[in-house]
A and B are shown apart, each in its own frame.
Chain A
Protein backbone atom coordinates (compact mmCIF):
# COMPACT_ATOMS: atom_id res chain seq x y z
CA UNK A 1 0.00 0.00 0.00
CA UNK A 2 1.16 3.49 -0.67
CA UNK A 3 2.30 5.83 2.01
CA UNK A 4 -0.14 8.03 3.93
CA UNK A 5 -0.67 11.50 2.49
CA UNK A 6 0.93 14.25 4.53
CA UNK A 7 -1.20 17.11 5.90
CA UNK A 8 0.37 19.43 3.32
CA UNK A 9 -0.48 17.06 0.47
CA UNK A 10 -4.06 16.76 1.71
CA UNK A 11 -4.35 20.55 1.96
CA UNK A 12 -3.09 20.97 -1.63
CA UNK A 13 -5.65 18.45 -2.88
CA UNK A 14 -8.43 20.29 -1.04
CA UNK A 15 -7.35 23.66 -2.44
CA UNK A 16 -7.24 22.30 -5.98
CA UNK A 17 -10.63 20.67 -5.52
CA UNK A 18 -12.03 24.07 -4.60
CA UNK A 19 -10.26 25.73 -7.56
CA UNK A 20 -12.14 23.37 -9.89
CA UNK A 21 -11.58 23.28 -13.66
CA UNK A 22 -9.91 26.69 -13.75
CA UNK A 23 -7.07 25.35 -11.72
CA UNK A 24 -4.54 27.39 -9.82
CA UNK A 25 -1.16 28.87 -10.67
CA UNK A 26 1.67 27.26 -8.82
CA UNK A 27 2.81 30.57 -7.35
CA UNK A 28 -0.73 31.28 -6.07
CA UNK A 29 -0.62 27.94 -4.30
CA UNK A 30 2.67 28.85 -2.61
CA UNK A 31 1.07 32.11 -1.43
CA UNK A 32 -1.99 30.38 0.00
CA UNK A 33 0.12 27.82 1.79
CA UNK A 34 2.80 30.27 2.86
CA UNK A 35 5.62 28.02 1.64
CA UNK A 36 8.55 28.64 -0.68
CA UNK A 37 8.59 27.26 -4.21
CA UNK A 38 11.45 24.89 -3.52
CA UNK A 39 9.63 22.83 -0.87
CA UNK A 40 6.31 23.28 -2.66
CA UNK A 41 7.69 21.91 -5.93
CA UNK A 42 8.76 18.70 -4.26
CA UNK A 43 5.28 18.04 -2.86
CA UNK A 44 3.51 18.96 -6.10
CA UNK A 45 5.80 16.71 -8.14
CA UNK A 46 5.05 13.85 -5.77
CA UNK A 47 1.29 14.38 -6.10
CA UNK A 48 1.63 14.53 -9.87
CA UNK A 49 3.50 11.22 -9.88
CA UNK A 50 0.74 9.64 -7.80
CA UNK A 51 -1.89 10.85 -10.28
CA UNK A 52 -3.65 13.34 -8.01
CA UNK A 53 -2.96 16.43 -10.13
CA UNK A 54 -1.79 17.61 -13.52
CA UNK A 55 0.67 20.42 -14.29
CA UNK A 56 0.53 22.52 -17.43
CA UNK A 57 3.27 24.95 -18.36
CA UNK A 58 1.82 28.46 -18.91
CA UNK A 59 3.06 32.05 -19.09
CA UNK A 60 1.72 34.50 -16.56
CA UNK A 61 2.75 38.17 -16.85
CA UNK A 62 5.56 37.09 -19.13
CA UNK A 63 6.95 34.55 -16.70
CA UNK A 64 6.80 30.80 -17.09
CA UNK A 65 4.90 28.97 -14.37
CA UNK A 66 2.64 25.97 -14.00
CA UNK A 67 -1.12 25.75 -13.86
CA UNK A 68 -2.18 23.06 -11.43
CA UNK A 69 -5.42 21.16 -11.71
CA UNK A 70 -6.84 18.23 -9.89
CA UNK A 71 -6.53 15.32 -12.31
CA UNK A 72 -9.72 14.36 -14.09
CA UNK A 73 -9.47 10.88 -12.72
CA UNK A 74 -9.27 12.22 -9.17
CA UNK A 75 -12.43 14.31 -9.59
CA UNK A 76 -14.56 11.74 -11.38
CA UNK A 77 -17.49 10.03 -9.72
CA UNK A 78 -16.41 6.56 -8.60
CA UNK A 79 -18.96 3.85 -9.21
CA UNK A 80 -18.84 0.42 -7.66
CA UNK A 81 -19.91 -1.85 -10.54
CA UNK A 82 -23.14 -3.69 -9.78
CA UNK A 83 -21.72 -6.91 -11.17
CA UNK A 84 -19.35 -6.90 -8.18
CA UNK A 85 -21.81 -6.00 -5.43
CA UNK A 86 -24.27 -8.76 -6.40
CA UNK A 87 -21.59 -11.40 -5.91
CA UNK A 88 -21.62 -12.82 -2.36
CA UNK A 89 -17.81 -12.62 -2.19
CA UNK A 90 -17.89 -8.82 -2.42
CA UNK A 91 -19.36 -8.34 1.06
CA UNK A 92 -18.00 -11.59 2.51
CA UNK A 93 -16.04 -10.96 5.74
CA UNK A 94 -13.93 -14.05 5.06
CA UNK A 95 -12.72 -13.00 1.61
CA UNK A 96 -9.10 -12.89 2.77
CA UNK A 97 -9.02 -16.37 4.29
CA UNK A 98 -11.27 -18.09 1.75
CA UNK A 99 -9.10 -20.35 -0.41
CA UNK A 100 -8.77 -23.82 -1.92
CA UNK A 101 -8.44 -26.23 1.00
CA UNK A 102 -9.12 -23.46 3.50
CA UNK A 103 -12.11 -22.52 5.57
CA UNK A 104 -14.22 -21.23 3.92
CA UNK A 105 -13.42 -22.80 0.56
CA UNK A 106 -14.81 -21.41 -2.74
CA UNK A 107 -15.35 -24.99 -3.94
CA UNK A 108 -18.09 -25.69 -1.41
CA UNK A 109 -19.09 -22.22 -0.24
CA UNK A 110 -22.79 -22.21 0.71
CA UNK A 111 -23.17 -18.53 -0.22
CA UNK A 112 -21.74 -19.18 -3.68
CA UNK A 113 -24.10 -22.19 -4.00
CA UNK A 114 -27.07 -19.96 -3.13
CA UNK A 115 -25.95 -17.31 -5.60
CA UNK A 116 -25.58 -19.85 -8.42
CA UNK A 117 -29.01 -21.26 -7.61
CA UNK A 118 -30.59 -17.78 -7.64
CA UNK A 119 -28.91 -16.93 -10.92
CA UNK A 120 -30.46 -20.00 -12.47
CA UNK A 121 -33.92 -19.57 -10.94
CA UNK A 122 -34.47 -15.80 -11.04
CA UNK A 123 -32.83 -14.73 -14.24
CA UNK A 124 -32.56 -17.82 -16.32
CA UNK A 125 -28.85 -17.99 -15.72
CA UNK A 126 -26.23 -16.34 -17.79
CA UNK A 127 -27.95 -13.27 -19.15
CA UNK A 128 -28.29 -11.43 -15.85
CA UNK A 129 -25.88 -9.34 -13.84
Chain B
Protein backbone atom coordinates (compact mmCIF):
# COMPACT_ATOMS: atom_id res chain seq x y z
CA UNK B 1 0.00 0.00 0.00
CA UNK B 2 1.16 3.52 -0.78
CA UNK B 3 2.82 5.50 2.01
CA UNK B 4 0.36 8.37 1.53
CA UNK B 5 -2.58 5.97 1.80
CA UNK B 6 -1.21 4.47 5.03
CA UNK B 7 -0.66 7.93 6.47
CA UNK B 8 -4.25 8.88 5.70
CA UNK B 9 -5.55 5.57 7.08
CA UNK B 10 -3.68 6.27 10.34
CA UNK B 11 -5.30 9.71 10.54
CA UNK B 12 -8.74 8.33 9.80
CA UNK B 13 -8.37 5.56 12.39
CA UNK B 14 -7.11 8.05 14.95
CA UNK B 15 -10.25 10.15 14.51
CA UNK B 16 -12.38 7.03 14.95
CA UNK B 17 -10.53 5.15 17.70
CA UNK B 18 -7.82 7.41 19.09
CA UNK B 19 -4.33 5.98 19.76
CA UNK B 20 -5.52 2.38 19.42
CA UNK B 21 -6.67 3.15 15.88
CA UNK B 22 -3.16 4.21 14.92
CA UNK B 23 -1.63 1.16 16.61
CA UNK B 24 -3.97 -1.22 14.82
CA UNK B 25 -3.06 0.30 11.45
CA UNK B 26 0.66 0.04 12.22
CA UNK B 27 0.36 -3.59 13.33
CA UNK B 28 -1.67 -4.65 10.29
CA UNK B 29 0.74 -2.81 8.02
CA UNK B 30 3.61 -4.79 9.51
CA UNK B 31 1.84 -8.16 9.48
CA UNK B 32 -0.22 -7.86 6.28
CA UNK B 33 -3.17 -9.50 8.00
CA UNK B 34 -3.89 -10.55 11.57
CA UNK B 35 -6.50 -12.44 13.59
CA UNK B 36 -8.43 -10.68 16.35
CA UNK B 37 -6.84 -13.03 18.94
CA UNK B 38 -3.31 -12.12 17.87
CA UNK B 39 -4.16 -8.42 17.82
CA UNK B 40 -5.67 -8.60 21.32
CA UNK B 41 -2.44 -10.19 22.59
CA UNK B 42 -0.25 -7.52 20.99
CA UNK B 43 -2.43 -4.65 22.23
CA UNK B 44 -2.87 -6.25 25.67
CA UNK B 45 -6.60 -5.65 25.50
CA UNK B 46 -9.67 -7.77 26.00
CA UNK B 47 -10.62 -9.60 22.80
CA UNK B 48 -14.20 -8.29 22.89
CA UNK B 49 -12.94 -4.70 22.95
CA UNK B 50 -10.56 -5.46 20.09
CA UNK B 51 -13.40 -6.96 18.04
CA UNK B 52 -15.51 -3.85 18.64
CA UNK B 53 -12.63 -1.69 17.41
CA UNK B 54 -12.04 -3.91 14.36
CA UNK B 55 -15.72 -3.74 13.46
CA UNK B 56 -15.67 0.05 13.71
CA UNK B 57 -12.78 0.11 11.26
CA UNK B 58 -14.66 -2.38 9.08
CA UNK B 59 -17.80 -0.19 9.11
CA UNK B 60 -15.66 2.78 8.12
CA UNK B 61 -14.39 0.74 5.15
CA UNK B 62 -10.78 0.76 6.40
CA UNK B 63 -10.48 -2.97 7.08
CA UNK B 64 -11.82 -6.12 5.52
CA UNK B 65 -11.64 -9.70 6.75
CA UNK B 66 -11.58 -13.24 5.51
CA UNK B 67 -12.95 -16.21 7.42
CA UNK B 68 -11.07 -19.45 7.74
CA UNK B 69 -12.70 -22.53 9.28
CA UNK B 70 -10.59 -24.72 11.50
CA UNK B 71 -11.08 -28.19 10.06
CA UNK B 72 -10.63 -29.90 13.46
CA UNK B 73 -12.66 -27.82 15.91
CA UNK B 74 -14.94 -26.20 13.31
CA UNK B 75 -14.43 -22.67 14.62
CA UNK B 76 -13.80 -19.72 12.40
CA UNK B 77 -10.76 -17.48 12.54
CA UNK B 78 -11.06 -13.98 11.15
CA UNK B 79 -8.08 -12.50 9.36
CA UNK B 80 -8.19 -8.71 9.10
CA UNK B 81 -6.44 -6.73 6.38
CA UNK B 82 -6.53 -3.29 4.75
CA UNK B 83 -9.10 -2.46 2.13
CA UNK B 84 -7.86 -1.65 -1.34
CA UNK B 85 -10.40 1.10 -1.63
CA UNK B 86 -8.51 4.40 -1.99
CA UNK B 87 -8.73 6.47 1.22
CA UNK B 88 -10.14 9.38 -0.76
CA UNK B 89 -13.08 7.19 -1.68
CA UNK B 90 -13.62 6.23 1.98
CA UNK B 91 -13.62 9.90 3.01
CA UNK B 92 -15.92 10.79 0.13
CA UNK B 93 -18.37 8.02 1.09
CA UNK B 94 -18.37 9.17 4.71
CA UNK B 95 -18.95 12.76 3.63
CA UNK B 96 -22.00 11.70 1.63
CA UNK B 97 -23.40 9.76 4.58
CA UNK B 98 -22.96 12.82 6.84
CA UNK B 99 -24.59 15.07 4.24
CA UNK B 100 -27.67 12.87 4.24
CA UNK B 101 -27.99 13.06 8.06
CA UNK B 102 -27.61 16.84 8.03
CA UNK B 103 -30.20 17.21 5.27
CA UNK B 104 -32.69 15.11 7.27
CA UNK B 105 -32.04 17.31 10.29
CA UNK B 106 -32.42 20.52 8.26
CA UNK B 107 -35.75 19.39 6.82
CA UNK B 108 -36.94 18.56 10.35
CA UNK B 109 -35.85 21.97 11.69
CA UNK B 110 -37.50 23.79 8.78
CA UNK B 111 -40.79 21.90 8.94
CA UNK B 112 -41.42 22.13 12.66
CA UNK B 113 -41.79 24.75 15.35
CA UNK B 114 -40.24 23.96 18.69
CA UNK B 115 -40.73 24.55 22.38
CA UNK B 116 -38.16 24.31 25.15
CA UNK B 117 -38.07 24.25 28.93
CA UNK B 118 -36.59 27.51 30.25
CA UNK B 119 -35.18 25.81 33.37
CA UNK B 120 -33.23 22.83 32.10
CA UNK B 121 -31.05 21.52 29.33
CA UNK B 122 -33.54 19.04 27.87
CA UNK B 123 -34.09 18.31 24.17
CA UNK B 124 -36.53 20.66 22.50
CA UNK B 125 -40.08 19.48 21.80
CA UNK B 126 -41.98 19.85 18.55
CA UNK B 127 -45.30 21.71 18.57
CA UNK B 128 -47.23 18.42 18.63
CA UNK B 129 -45.16 17.04 21.50
CA UNK B 130 -45.56 20.29 23.44
CA UNK B 131 -49.30 20.36 22.70
CA UNK B 132 -49.72 16.79 23.95
CA UNK B 133 -47.98 17.86 27.18
CA UNK B 134 -50.24 20.93 27.50
CA UNK B 135 -47.10 23.06 26.96
CA UNK B 136 -45.72 21.88 30.29
CA UNK B 137 -42.17 20.51 30.66
CA UNK B 138 -42.48 16.71 31.11
CA UNK B 139 -39.51 16.75 33.52
CA UNK B 140 -39.99 19.77 35.82
CA UNK B 141 -43.52 20.98 35.10
CA UNK B 142 -42.51 24.49 34.01
CA UNK B 143 -44.33 26.27 31.23
CA UNK B 144 -42.59 25.62 27.89
CA UNK B 145 -41.34 28.56 25.84
CA UNK B 146 -41.18 28.86 22.06
CA UNK B 147 -37.69 28.07 20.71
CA UNK B 148 -36.30 30.10 17.83
CA UNK B 149 -34.36 27.64 15.68
CA UNK B 150 -33.49 30.10 12.89
CA UNK B 151 -29.80 30.05 13.86
CA UNK B 152 -29.74 26.22 13.84
CA UNK B 153 -31.23 26.30 10.34
CA UNK B 154 -28.66 28.85 9.22
CA UNK B 155 -25.77 26.77 10.60
CA UNK B 156 -27.06 23.58 8.99
CA UNK B 157 -27.58 25.25 5.62
CA UNK B 158 -24.10 26.72 5.67
CA UNK B 159 -22.42 23.42 6.61
CA UNK B 160 -24.44 21.47 4.03
CA UNK B 161 -23.45 23.92 1.33
CA UNK B 162 -19.78 23.71 2.32
CA UNK B 163 -19.87 19.92 2.35
CA UNK B 164 -21.48 19.83 -1.08
CA UNK B 165 -18.69 21.99 -2.46
CA UNK B 166 -15.97 20.07 -0.64
CA UNK B 167 -13.51 18.29 -2.92
CA UNK B 168 -11.98 15.29 -1.19
Contact surface of A with B, Cβ cutoff 8 Å: 1-5, 10, 13, 17, 51, 70, 74-81, 83-85, 87, 89-91, 93, 95-96, 98-100, 106-110, 112-113, 116, 119-120, 125-126
Are A98 and B15 neighbours in the complex by a CB distance under 8 Å? Answer: no
Minimal beta-carbon separation of A95 from chain B (angstroms): 6
CB contact under 8 A between A84 and B94, given known A74-B2, A93-B59, A125-B151: yes
Most buried by A among B4, B101, B158, B166: B101
Q: B106 — nearest CB in chain A belongs to which residue? A: A106
Complex: how many Å from CA A67 to CA B108?
55
Are B83 and A78 neighbours in the complex by a CB distance under 8 Å? Answer: no
Contact surface of B with A, Cβ cutoff 8 Å: 1-5, 7-8, 11-12, 15-16, 56, 59, 61, 64, 83-88, 91, 94-95, 97-98, 101-102, 104-105, 108, 123, 151-152, 154-156, 158-159, 162-163, 166, 168
Residues of A within 8 A of B83 (CB): 1
Residues of B within 8 A of A120 (CB): 151-152, 155
Minimal beta-carbon separation of A51 from chain B (angstroms): 8
Residues of A within 8 A of B2 (CB): 13, 17, 70, 74-75
Residues of B within 8 A of A81 (CB): 91, 166, 168
Residues of A within 8 A of B85 (CB): 1-2
In addition to A70-B2, A85-B15, 4 A-B residue pairs with Cβ atoms within 8 Å of each other are A81-B166, A83-B159, A83-B163, A106-B104
